[in-house]
């Protein structure tokens, strides 16, 4: 039950926020929006406000808005999407992903302002060990200071990873300081094929810091930027086949949402923020039928000085829908198998 509820809220919020971005931008640039709906399917409630019908529907997985001029045959409507200036159409397309970037900024801001932030120390001090990994098996415990690895003295946390990668599968000799006493330990780094790295299974010690409103805002923006860069790097590694492509479909995401929700509200909100960034990044990829693909079409039209033929747009759209449908089916089958 928790998994179902967590998934409904997650998908509902992320998709509705995305569509709200398109809606607000369309309104702001003078486009006619005939309907904005929260949910899909049979109608529960509706209210006409001006030229827009606001509706609530029974299936809570997201929402949609109807912008005039985006359906075949509507290209020439006076206040339709196609009749507005190029800049207005570009803003409207990009506003959806923008809102998916803005949501995690707001979530992280609230978390940092209320709870502060845990900052990893730069010194080679162990904060925790991962169950079943070499460090735990060798006897490393939280609070240990790693003095050296294979005779190389350490002063910074990043040097631990450098020495572990240099050692590779060869057993490493660690000198750790614990309670004022020095201990010698030996462990064999564990290879992780997904990241193509050797790990020993430790995390750094964390220092808690309370943040003011300005610091909370700037830290939230930096966090979203850092996660975005990490996702782009991950996509690059998958495209270049340096790491294996592991896709999670709706079933897998729903299961993760339930697992995280069971840990509490803060982890769940953090997961929502992370997934919102993921949705924004994926939507900006230049794939037809996604916002990035539609934006690319607008760029091409701007360079040509005239719109693409409706038939060409239709073919591009069909190719994009086919790609997305294939990936969705593949990811769902992957979820079911695993």
Q: What is the pLDDT of residue 241?
A: 65
- Higher confidence at residue 26 or residue 315? 26
pLDDT of residue 192: 86
Which sign, positive or negative, has the C-alpha torsion 328, 329, 332, 333? negative
- Is 19 catalytic? The answer is yes
Q: What is the structure's pLDDT at 247?
A: 62
> Which residue from 178, 290, 274 is spatially nearest to 226, judged by alpha carbons?
274
What tens digit of pLDDT does each residue of 35-62 get? 999 988 899 999 999 899 999 998 887 7
**Residue 249, pLDDT score:** 67
94: buried, middle or exposed (CB in 10 Å: 19+, 13-18, 0-12)?
buried
Assign 108 a pLDDT band (cuts: 50, 70, 90). very high
CA–CA gap between residue 146 and residue 160 (Å, rounded): 8
Q: Would the pLDDT of 83 be above 70?
A: yes
With pLDDT > 90 as the criterion, what percentage of the chain qualifies? 53
| Residue bearing tokens 């299974």 | 201
| Per-chain mean pLDDT for the chain | 87
Q: What is the pTM of this model?
A: 0.80
Among 19, 177, 192, 194, which one carries the catalytic annotation?
Answer: 19
pLDDT of residue 159: 93
Instruction: Identify the pLDDT of residue 336.
Output: 63
Whether 260 has a pLDDT exceeding 80, the answer reads: yes
Domains assigned to the chain: 2-113+248-337 (no CATH), 120-208 (2.30.42.10)
The pLDDT value given to residue 287: 84
d(CA 231, CA 282): 9
More confident residue, 234 or 109: 109
Q: Average pLDDT, stretch 250-275? A: 87
Instruction: Please write the tens of the pLDDT for every residue from 281-335.
Output: 989 988 887 899 889 989 988 888 887 777 777 777 777 777 777 766 766 666 5
Q: What is the mean pLDDT of residues 11-38?
A: 93
User: Which of the four pLDDT bands, split at 50, 70 and 90, describes residue 63?
Assistant: confident
Per-residue DSSP letters for 59-104? EEEEEEEEETT-STT-TT-TTSGGGS-HHHHHHHHHHHHHHHHHHH
Percent of the chain at pLDDT exceeding 70: 92
Residues 6+ apart with CB under 8 A from 314: 72
């Amino acid at each position: 039950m928790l998994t179902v509820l967590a998934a409904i809220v997650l998908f509902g919020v992320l998709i509705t926020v995305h569509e709200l971005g398109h809606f607000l931008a369309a309104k702001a640039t003078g486009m006619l929006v005939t309907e904005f709906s929260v949910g899909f399917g049979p109608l529960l409630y509706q209210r006409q406000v001006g030229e827009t019908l606001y509706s609530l529907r029974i299936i809570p997985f997201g929402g949609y808005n109807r912008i005039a001029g985006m359906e075949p045959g509507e290209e020439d409507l006076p206040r339709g999407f196609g009749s507005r200036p190029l800049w207005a159409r570009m803003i409207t397309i990009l506003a959806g992903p923008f809102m998916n970037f803005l949501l995690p900024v707001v979530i992280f801001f609230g978390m940092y302002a209320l709870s502060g932030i845990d900052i990893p120390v730069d010194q080679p001090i162990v904060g925790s060990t991962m169950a079943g990994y070499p460090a735990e098996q060798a006897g490393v415990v939280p609070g240990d200071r790693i003095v050296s690895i294979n005779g190389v003295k350490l002063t910074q946390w990043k040097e631990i990873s450098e020495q572990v990668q240099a050692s590779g599968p060869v057993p490493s000799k660690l000198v750790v300081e614990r309670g004022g006493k020095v201990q010698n330990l030996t462990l064999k780094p564990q290879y992780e094929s997904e990241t193509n790295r050797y790990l020993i299974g430790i995390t750094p010690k964390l220092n808690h810091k309370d943040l003011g409103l300005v610091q909370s805002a700037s830290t939230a923006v930096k966090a979203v930027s850092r996660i975005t860069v990490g996702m782009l790097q991950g996509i690059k590694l998958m495209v270049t086949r340096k790491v294996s492509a592991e896709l999670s479909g709706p079933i897998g995401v729903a299961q993760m949402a339930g697992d995280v929700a069971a840990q509490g509200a803060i982890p769940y909100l953090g997961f929502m923020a992370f997934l919102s960034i993921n949705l924004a990044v994926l939507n900006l990829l230049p794939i037809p039928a996604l916002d990035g693909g539609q934006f690319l079409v607008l760029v091409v039209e701007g360079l040509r000085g005239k719109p693409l033929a409706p038939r060409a747009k239709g073919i591009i759209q069909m190719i994009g829908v086919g790609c997305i449908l294939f990936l969705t089916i593949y990811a769902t089958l992957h979820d079911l198998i695993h």
